[in-house]
Structure 1
Amino acid sequence: MPVSPHHAAGLALRHQIFGAAATDAQIAKASAFLRPMQDMVTADCFGQVWTQPGLDLRQRSLATIAMLIALGRSHELRIHVRGAIQNGVTVEELGALMRHAALYCGIPAAVDAWLNTDATLQDLGLVAAAPEQTP
């Protein structure tokens, strides 16, 4: 089956944002049932929407994270925090976004987002874990 221009553009963008190894592993691990979803994400989401003019990748990352917080999608949030860092979003900007989300999305959604963002930033070595408390 030939690869469409949108699929090729989307795959290149996914490689740029999330890394070739992580992207290719996600696609390779997709079952026959999940493969159409991966193709849709690659061609439609990244090949058409993320590549259209109007917002740069940094702005798209911030908007995406805000929407994921509002929807309570922690798994996707962790993935997109990594992508946001790659797209130039700073740790300070992520913190400001969490505080903003607390007001507009609610404290429970923001707390969940904060915890998942902190864990991802720790994984990336961008923030330190809290010191151990001794009783």
Structure 2
Amino acid sequence: MSKDVQERGLEIRKSVLGAEYVEAAFRSADDFNLPMQELVTEYCWGAVWGRETLSLKTRSMLNLAMIATLNRPHELRLHVRGALRNGVSKDEIREIFMQVAVYAGVPAGVDAFRLAREVFDADKDA
């Protein structure tokens, strides 16, 4: 991949997850996990999120469904915040997690709702 893809990925990653979070991830990286930070930034955020066919909002909605289905709570919290930044409404998040409950199981849907509420409540307090 090119330097352009890496830079585009860094820009998108910061816009979705927040510059503070991304910069902290790189600051705390060491010899062991720095290659993973670079891979995620380049391939996930640059090569895939950087494609123009789907909007960032659509990609966020897809990610919420997939991450909730995979039961990845840390990532789900990040991506609920990112989805809100990308214009996904709380009503849309609710509907995504209703869909998750039907197709991936009620426990996955319940956990997704719980995590989303934690994010919503934390953002109110901030």
TM-score over 0.5 for the pair:
yes
* Letter of the structure 2 residue corresponding to residue 61 of structure 1: S
Q: Which runs of 4+ in 1 moved over 2 A?
A: none
SS of match in other structure, 2:124: coil
Report the equivalent of 1:32.
31
Rounded Cα–Cα distance in structure 2 between residues aligned with 1:69 and 1:93: 14
Q: In the TM superposition, what is the alpha-carbon distance from 1:117 to its structure 2 partner?
A: 1.0
Report the equivalent of 1:57.
56
Report the equivalent of 1:42.
41
Report the equivalent of 2:108.
109
Rounded Cα–Cα distance in structure 1 between residues aligned with 2:18 and 2:114: 23
- Structure with bigger gyration radius: 1
Q: TM-score, normalised by structure 2?
A: 0.93
Report the equivalent of 1:90.
89
Does residue 23 of structure 2 align to residue 7 of structure 1? no
Report the equivalent of 1:133.
none
Q: TM-score, normalised by structure 1?
A: 0.87
Q: In the TM superposition, what is the alpha-carbon distance from 1:125 to its structure 2 partner?
A: 1.4
Percent identity between the two aligned chains? 37
Rounded Cα–Cα distance in structure 2 between residues aligned with 1:19 and 1:106: 30
| Matched residue count | 124
Structure (1 or 2) with the greater helix fraction:
2
* Letter of the structure 1 residue corresponding to residue 96 of structure 2: L
Cα root mean square deviation, aligned: 1.3
